[in-house]
Amino acid sequence: MTSPAPRSRLFTGPMLAAVGVIVALAIAVVVVLVTRDPSGSEASASSSGTAPATYSKPDGWETVTGYGLSWDYPKSADPFESAKWSNPQDGTVQSISLEGFIGYPTCDKSSGKELTAATLALEVDDPKEGANSAMTTTGGIVLQAGDEYSLSSYSNDDVEDYTTASGLKGGRLTATLTIPEADACGTTQYAITTFATKNASGEPVALIIVHRMDGELLASENELSDIAETMAFSLREE
């Protein structure tokens, strides 16, 4: 993978979940609730991924906004409980700005999140470079917290062209974060997906989605993968 440039440690272990990576959501930032769009979205588009050809917001799903984009998540859809989701939040931690951060706890222990998502502003226009950059940012934060974490290698060649239901085009990249020793929930791997595109103002933005791959999962790995796919496919202009 592309190695992040050396810099001071931005996060300690318990703060990593603020970017949808691992451990507890315990980060000291000033947050603002995101305005929610209660409307659904229905559109059709072709995709190089496994998403269906059409999209309609599923029952129990709600909408999050960030950096001029909106996407849906399973707020109260089975097996999720509405009250356990963190409220959508915007926040800036040093140079890392996130909007629309959401997270759902797993196995009733303070050891991370089952599923998280957020949007990240990018500085590169090319979607393949953007997806790669978003992964480097996410992975770099983890790697600075401890050499025991590792992220599978990736490059621009691994980024696939992807089109959402609303017609947003961009680049999508998936990598696997490995923890050598299982956490309290028995998890050793996370799937990290980054999708780089542009909002209506032409600003490059990435949607980051992270979910557990093993351990005491709320749903199966395949179910979580399908949910992450639907979240990405629902992405649209705000």
Q: How far apart are CA 47 and CA 141, in angstroms?
A: 30
Residue 144 banded pLDDT, cuts 50, 70, 90: low
* 154 close to 132: Cβ distance less than 8 angstroms: yes
Q: Which two tokens stand for residue 14?
A: 């318990």
> Across all residues in the chain, what is the average pLDDT?
78
Residue 106 banded pLDDT, cuts 50, 70, 90: confident
Task: Check the CA dihedral 18-172-198-35 and report its sign.
Answer: negative
pTM, entire model: 0.78
- Which pLDDT score is estimated for 181? 85
Give pLDDT tens digits for 29-71: 222 222 223 333 333 333 344 445 689 999 999 999 999 999 9
The fraction of the chain above a pLDDT of 90, given in percent, is: 58
- Which pLDDT score is estimated for 179? 85
Residue 13 banded pLDDT, cuts 50, 70, 90: very low
Phi-psi region of 167 (alpha: psi -120 to 50; beta: other; left: phi over 0): left
Q: How far apart are CA 182 and CA 186, in angstroms?
A: 5
- Which pLDDT score is estimated for 117? 94
Q: How far apart are CA 116 and CA 75, in angstroms?
A: 12
Q: Which residues contact 184 (CB under 8 A, 6 or more apart)?
A: 107, 109, 110, 111
Pick the CATH number of 13-237 from 3.40.1000.10, 1.10.150.20, 3.30.420.40, 3.20.20.140: 3.40.1000.10
Give pLDDT tens digits for 122-138: 999 999 999 999 998 87
Q: What is the DSSP string of the chain?
A: -PPPPP------GGGGGGGTSSS--------EEPPP-----EEE---SSS--SEEEPPTT-EEEEETTEEEEE-SSSTT--GGGSPPPEEEEETTEEEEEEEEEE-TTSSS-EEEEEEEEE-S--SHHHHHHHHHHHHHHHHHHH-TT-EE----GGGPEEEE-TT--EEEEEEEEEE-SS--TT---EEEEEEEEEE-TT--EEEEEEEEE-SSS-SS-HHHHHHHHHHHHHT-EE-
- Which pLDDT score is estimated for 122? 95
Residue 141 banded pLDDT, cuts 50, 70, 90: low
- Which pLDDT score is estimated for 27? 28
Q: How far apart are CA 200 and CA 229, in angstroms?
A: 22
Mean pLDDT of 158-176: 96
- Which pLDDT score is estimated for 8? 30
For the chain, the structural domain boundaries read: 13-237
Mean pLDDT of 155-181: 94
Q: How far apart are CA 237 and CA 169, in angstroms?
A: 11
Residue 153 banded pLDDT, cuts 50, 70, 90: confident
Higher pLDDT among residues 76 and 108, named by residue: 76
Whether pLDDT at 99 is above 50 = yes
Give pLDDT tens digits for 170-225: 999 999 988 888 888 999 999 999 999 999 999 999 999 999 999 999 999 999 99
